[in-house]
Each structure stands twice: as structure tokens, then as C-alpha cells.
């Protein structure tokens, strides 16, 4: 069954101003999945005007009303769980376990949490003879990637709406239909027309005009560092505040470890999560050289648990990549890594074997581990965005391990493993990352998340996510 959708502007499903469409391919089969309208400046102008007209009224509503609207959206997303799970299997190859936890559960939780945080984020306080108040920035342009199409949209839309901003969302044209489900849910949640708008199209046709639009007050973007640089450039021309959550080449640094089996399993699971298509993936396992033989043995055993297969099968742990373009990009990085002489422990170029006939045209990559990786090499420095792990041995103690961990242009996520918690915490403080996990610490969905260096700036999740969409005003009397 092919999918088709429209733009959602001013509370109405809106046809494109031209007959141009963009085709969308299924990640699991490579066949046509459906079409979306190829929006342009006309659609952007309409959506921004609708958001501008709605913003003052939306911001003026009691925060409890906005909170209730967000809770209705959360409930609506949970009610569509099966639709979403089936759709992201086709759009991006997302396996069922990841889809249920992150694409649905975490996305819905973001709306509930934003509703919970409104009062704290907008709390008024007194400082001497000044009254300090928090106000919404206004109209927000939200541009989201394809790897977590619903969760990433929630991280931007929910906090912006919570504090009284209105939103124009541009999802990736690679995975647009999940965003359309969000629009369907919003349309049934009784928000005022124009508060939430959705425009389909490319970055060139829609994204750049949206970011540059004089009636857009703030921009939030998740994607590559190259695209993020362009977004910052365009927004900077009109001095708009920008939140950028970009790529990562994230280290898992083992300092000393009795339970290597748990540490290596944690690394492989992170590197291969969502088929390796996670900006926060711990794709570099940095280990003392004396541990290398045992780490290699354990890594081989773990990789065997990630046999590529149909993402619609509940038993599958590794699905395809999202698009042919992404598969080609990954193969280019693998080819350059092999040409450089880096040792392959398992995997490499080429399609994995054992796939069903229906999946013959899907965008599957072979799960790959490189070992004896040299700091500064291709796979140590470049984000592969596929099921690839680089094992980087080091000598010389914790200082050398930290130096290697920090030796990329990125600074997003990191992990440390050590029996000595004091040592682990000291190392965590020195790592160039906004989030660090010690000994497989649990994920905290409300802790601030964002980047440093080429991984971007600004924070998402929890109250920090709401604060990105407000400005502080002091009133003296």
C-alpha cells in the first residue's frame, strides 16, 4: 500500500501549490513507499503566517490549558503505536523493540514531561527591585532528521508549545510519514489553528527559506554538522537564536575492568542501536592494549547476536539503513577505512547474507567491527551512521585514553567503564561530551542532552529543553 500525505497548515490539510512530489522509498525492500508534496516558498509563507497569527493567543492561554493539550497529544501517539511501529520499519528500517521504546514511548513521554515542566520553566521570581519573568520566543522553525522521526519532532515541538511558542515543523523527506501521524494526532487534540504546522519538502526548497524567514523567531535543528553549519549561517543573518544537535563520534573508554563481558556487550549494543543510525552511538571502544585479545573475542560473540533481518519481525535486532544514499555513504567510509589498512575483525563491504527474498532490494549493511584502529584514522574520526564499531587500543594509562577519546571534532556523548568510581568520575569530567555514562548507567529521559564542539550547542529534554524557547525579561519598579 502506498502512502500519500499533504501539508498541515493553520489546522487544515493543505494541498501543494504545484503538482511536484517527492518519492519515498522503503528501507526494508527498496521499493516505492509513497509520495509527499514538494513544498516551497509559498507553503512556508502560509505556515509561518498561520503560526504568527496564532502565537499571541496560544501564549496567552493558561499554562494548564497548554499542558492538557500536550497530554492529549501524548495519549494520541500511544493510541497510534501499531501504526507508527509498522511505518518506521518501512521508512527507516527501525526494528520493533526500538520503535516501541523510542519512536513511540519516548516521544509520547516528551509531551507528558513538557506538560509537567511548564510551571517551573515559566516561574516568575524577584531580584531586588526587579521582577524576572520568562516569555516565549515566538514562532519556532523545527527541522528534524530521519533516524528518530517522531522522537526528534517531539523533542522540539513539545517544549516549544509548552512555553507558548507556535511551530512550523519540517521533517526529513526520507521519513516524512511519521510526522504526518503526529499532525493527525495534533489535529484531533483541539489545539487552536496555526499553533502547529507541518511542511514537507527538501532542505533547499523548504528548510533554507524557513530558517531565513523574517517572521521566524527561533530555529531548532538536528542533523549533520555540515547542514547545521548552513542553518546557523542562515539564521545568523537575522540574529535568530538557534539550537543545534549534530553528529558525534562517541567514545566508550575502558580504564580498568573486571567484567569485560558486560562492558563489550554495552558497547556493541550502543554502536548497533537503531541499526547504527544514532548520533549518540558509542562507536569507538577505547581499551587498554592488554585487554585487546579478550575484547576482540567478546565483540565477535556479541556481533553474532545482531543478524540483519526484517525489521517487522519482533525477533530482529538489526534492520536496514534508511536509504540508498545512507548505504552508499557508509560503504564509502568502509572502503576508505579498508584502503587505509585498518584491520577488519568482522564484516566489511557488501550486503549481509541470509536475507529473505522480499528484502533483496532493502538497504542492508553488514555489521562490522574494526580493530587495532589508529587514533586519527578515518573510522576513528568520521561518523559512519551504520552498524560499525571501532576498537581503539591505547597504552600509557588514563591520560592517554582520555586524550584519544577527546581527539575528534565532536563532543556529544561518551561512556567510561572502571572499577574505580572516583577515577571514572574524574575521567567523565574531562571528556568532551555533554552526556557521560559510567559503567552502563541508566538513560535519563529528562536530563539535558546536546553537543559541544562540532556536535552543536543548546540542550534538549526536560526543563532544559523548555528553556531553549524562552527569553528572560526583567521589570524594574
179-199: pLDDT as tens digits: 999 999 999 999 999 999 999
Structure confidence at residue 258 (pLDDT): 80
Arithmetic mean of pLDDT over the chain = 97
Interatomic CA distance for residues 253 and 263, integer angstroms: 10
Neighbours of 170 (CB within 10 A): 30
Residues annotated as catalytic (active site), given as ranges: 245, 279
Residue with the bigger pLDDT between 351 and 78: it is: 78
| Average pLDDT over every residue of 72-93 | 97
Residue with cell 572502571: 418
Grid cell for residue 423: 577515577
Percent of the chain with pLDDT over 90: 98
pLDDT at residue 9 above 90? yes
End-to-end CA distance of the chain: 64
pLDDT at residue 1 above 70? no
Structure confidence at residue 5 (pLDDT): 95
Give the up-direction half-sphere exposure of residue 297: CA atoms within 13 A in the CB hemisphere: 6
Region label for 376, one of left (φ > 0), alpha (ψ between -120 and 50) or beta (otherwise): left
| Average pLDDT over every residue of 409-432 | 97
Interatomic CA distance for residues 309 and 446, integer angstroms: 32
Helices 107-121 & 63-79 angle (0-180, nearest 10):
170
Question: At 153, is the secondary structure helix, strand, or coil?
Answer: helix
H or E segment and range at residue 414: strand 413-417
Structure confidence at residue 257 (pLDDT): 83
pLDDT category of residue 421 using cuts at 50, 70 and 90: very high
Structure confidence at residue 225 (pLDDT): 94
| Average pLDDT over every residue of 314-340 | 97
| Average pLDDT over every residue of 235-253 | 96
114-129: pLDDT as tens digits: 999 999 999 999 999 9
Interatomic CA distance for residues 445 and 424, integer angstroms: 22
Residue with cell 519598579: 477
Which among 412, 250, 388, 248 has a CA at the least distance from the CA of 327? 388
Neighbours of 477 (CB within 10 A): 5
| Average pLDDT over every residue of 223-244 | 96
Structure confidence at residue 336 (pLDDT): 98
| Average pLDDT over every residue of 389-408 | 97
**C-alpha torsion angle, residues 106, 82, 88, 449 (rounded to 10):** 0
Domains and CATH numbers, the chain: 3-246+455-476 (3.40.605.10), 251-445 (3.40.309.10)
pLDDT category of residue 354 using cuts at 50, 70 and 90: confident
In this prediction the pTM is 0.96
Percent of the chain with pLDDT over 70: 100
pLDDT at residue 438 above 70? yes
pLDDT category of residue 2 using cuts at 50, 70 and 90: confident
Q: Do 362 and 30 meet the contact criterion of CB atoms below 8 Å apart? A: yes
Residue 256: C-alpha distances to residues 63, 123, 250, 422 (Å) = 49, 45, 19, 12
Amino acid at each position: 500500500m502506498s502512502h500519500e500525505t499533504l501539508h498541515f497548515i493553520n489546522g487544515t490539510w493543505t494541498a501543494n501549490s504545484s503538482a511536484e512530489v517527492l518519492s519515498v522509498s522503503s528501507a526494508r525492500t527498496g521499493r516505492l513507499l509513497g509520495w509527499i508534496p514538494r513544498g516551497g516558498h509559498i507553503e512556508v509563507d502560509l505556515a509561518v503566517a498561520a503560526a504568527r497569527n496564532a502565537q499571541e493567543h496560544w501564549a496567552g492561554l493558561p499554562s494548564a490549558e497548554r499542558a492538557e493539550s500536550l497530554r492529549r497529544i501524548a495519549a494520541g501517539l500511544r493510541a497510534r503505536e501499531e501504526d507508527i511501529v509498522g511505518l518506521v520499519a518501512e521508512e527507516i528500517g527501525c526494528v520493533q523493540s526500538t520503535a516501541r521504546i523510542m519512536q513511540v514511548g519516548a516521544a509520547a513521554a516528551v509531551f507528558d514531561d513538557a506538560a509537567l515542566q511548564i510551571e517551573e520553566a515559566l516561574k516568575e521570581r524577584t531580584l531586588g527591585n526587579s521582577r524576572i519573568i520568562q516569555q516565549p520566543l515566538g514562532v519556532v522553525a523545527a527541522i528534524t532528521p530521519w533516524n528518530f522521526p517522531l522522537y526528534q519532532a517531539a523533542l522540539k515541538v513539545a517544549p516549544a508549545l509548552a512555553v507558548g511558542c507556535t511551530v512550523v515543523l519540517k521533517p526529513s523527506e526520507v521519513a516524512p510519514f511519521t510526522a504526518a501521524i503526529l499532525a493527525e494526532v495534533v489535529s484531533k487534540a483541539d489545539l487552536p489553528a496555526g499553533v502547529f504546522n507541518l511542511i514537507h519538502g527538501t532542505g533547499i526548497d523548504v528548510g533554507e527559506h524557513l530558517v531565513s524567514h523574517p517572521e521566524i523567531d527561533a530555529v531548532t535543528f538536528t542533523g549533520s554538522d555540515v547542514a547545521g553549519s548552513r542553518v546557523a549561517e542562515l539564521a545568523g543573518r537575522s540574529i535568530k537564536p538557534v539550537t543545534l544537535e549534530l553528529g558525534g563520534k562517541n567514545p566508550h573508554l575502558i580504564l580498568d575492568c573486571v567484567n569485560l563481558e558486560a562492558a563489550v556487550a554495552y558497547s556493541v549494543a550502543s554502536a548497533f542501536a537503531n541499526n547504527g543510525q544514532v548520533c549518540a552511538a558509542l562507536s569507538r571502544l577505547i581499551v587498554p592494549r592488554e585487554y585487546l585479545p579478550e575484547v576482540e573475542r567478546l565483540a565477535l560473540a556479541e556481533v553474532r547476536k545482531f543478524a540483519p533481518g526484517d525489521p517487522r519481525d519482533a525477533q530482529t535486532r538489526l534492520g536496514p539503513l534508511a536509504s540508498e544514499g545512507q548505504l552508499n555513504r557508509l560503504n564509502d567510509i568502509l572502503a576508505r577505512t579498508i584502503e587505509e589498512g585498518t584491520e577488519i575483525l568482522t564484516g566489511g563491504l557488501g550486503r549481509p547474507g541470509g536475507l529473505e527474498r522480499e528484502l533483496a532490494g532493502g538497504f542492508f549493511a553488514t555489521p562490522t567491527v574494526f580493530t587495532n584502529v589508529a587514533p586519527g584514522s578515518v573510522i576513528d574520526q568520521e561518523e559512519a551512521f551504520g552498524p560499525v564499531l571501532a576498537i581503539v587500543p591505547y597504552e600509557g594509562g588514563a591520560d592517554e585514553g582520555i586524550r584519544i577519546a577527546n581527539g575528534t571534532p565532536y563532543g556529544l556523548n561518551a561512556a567510561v567503564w572502571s572499577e574505580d568510581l572516583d577515577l571514572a568520575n574524574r575521567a567523565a569530567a574531562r571528556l568532551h561530551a555533554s552526556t557521560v555514562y559510567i559503567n552502563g548507567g541508566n538513560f535519563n529521559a529528562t536530563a539535558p542532552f546536546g553537543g559541544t564542539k562540532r556536535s552543536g550547542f543548546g540542550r534538549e529534554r526536560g526543563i532544559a529543553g523548555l528553556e531553549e524557547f524562552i527569553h528572560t525579561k526583567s521589570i524594574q519598579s
